[in-house]
């Protein structure tokens, strides 16, 4: 089929990056066994992890290329993950998505089984793109309904939970998507632990708007000219006195 040149340099790089991420998910504690799936966008489609193959024994040739229309050419007898519809639809509707991680992380899945959104109990919720991480309604795995529910929960967000299932995140690269998945699971663990004591107070919308704006500028040079040398020296002195970098 046209476009299935697995020897193309870009696809080789993408296969290597996806394989490395797939082998890392269990070690990072955001997945167990053969569950979950990862993908990266390609021209005309995407690469996705295969169904029912342990990550520890997975090879680059096991990754399956799926076309925009959902068709695929089985390689090495492998078929795409049952959640390929979710990945296809996210790439269709979210042009900024370059990679997707879907995982059954312990604490995120625990909250999803309770049907709980994760509110802005901590400012780092903004890493998912908004003032909460929504939990999509339950749907059978591998179905169009699951994908549709996730797209709704991901409106204006880069991460969501799936009711009685797990979580999905996306980012520009597979490395960033993996890092976001770890962050979401960390937040889920914090929130679950806080709930054992009580219901934590959520930051209000005004504060979260400030945090989201700061996140947009994080790691980027400031607009306009650099501050005078004296101001820079005062900033350096302030930093050396124990002020923490943002966002922390």
Task: Output DSSP code: residue 201.
Answer: P
In DSSP notation, 203-229 reads: PPHHHHHHHHHHHHHTTSPPSSSPPPH
Question: Is 83 tagged catalytic?
Answer: yes
Instruction: Give Dmax (Cα) for the chain.
Output: 66
Whose tokens are 């049952």? That residue is 82
Which of 20, 83, 175, 216 is catalytic? The answer is 83
The closest alpha carbon to 130, from 217, 215, 189, belongs to 215
Whose tokens are 């306009």? That residue is 224
Alpha carbons 66 and 150: distance in angstroms, whole number = 20
Query: What Cα–Cα distance (Å) separates residue 191 from each residue in 39, 48, 103?
Result: 28, 31, 18
Rounded to 5 degrees, what are φ and ψ at 114? -95, -5
User: Which residues carry out catalysis?
Assistant: 83
């Amino acid at each position: 089929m046209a476009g299935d040149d697995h020897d193309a340099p870009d696809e080789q790089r993408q296969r290597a990056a996806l394989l490395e991420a797939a082998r890392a998910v269990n070690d990072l504690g955001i997945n167990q066994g053969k569950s979950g799936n990862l993908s990266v966008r390609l021209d005309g489609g995407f690469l996705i992890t295969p169904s029912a193959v342990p990550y520890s024994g997975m090879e680059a040739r096991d990754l399956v290329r799926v076309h925009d229309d959902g068709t695929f050419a089985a390689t090495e007898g492998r078929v795409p993950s049952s959640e390929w519809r979710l990945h296809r639809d996210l790439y269709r509707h979210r042009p900024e998505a370059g990679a997707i991680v879907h995982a059954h992380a312990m604490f995120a899945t625990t909250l999803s089984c309770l049907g709980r959104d994760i509110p802005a109990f901590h400012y780092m919720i903004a890493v998912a793109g908004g003032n909460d991480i929504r939990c999509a309604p339950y749907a059978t795995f591998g179905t169009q309904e699951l994908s549709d529910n996730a797209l709704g929960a991901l409106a204006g967000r880069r991460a969501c939970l799936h009711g009685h299932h797990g979580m999905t995140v996306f980012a520009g690269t597979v490395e960033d998507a993996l890092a976001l998945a770890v962050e979401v699971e960390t937040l889920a663990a914090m929130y679950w632990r806080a709930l054992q004591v009580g219901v934590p107070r959520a930051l209000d919308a005004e504060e979260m708007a400030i945090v989201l704006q700061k996140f947009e500028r994080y790691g980027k040079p400031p607009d306009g000219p650099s501050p005078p040398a004296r101001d820079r020296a005062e900033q350096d002195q302030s930093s050396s006195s124990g002020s923490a970098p943002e966002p922390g």
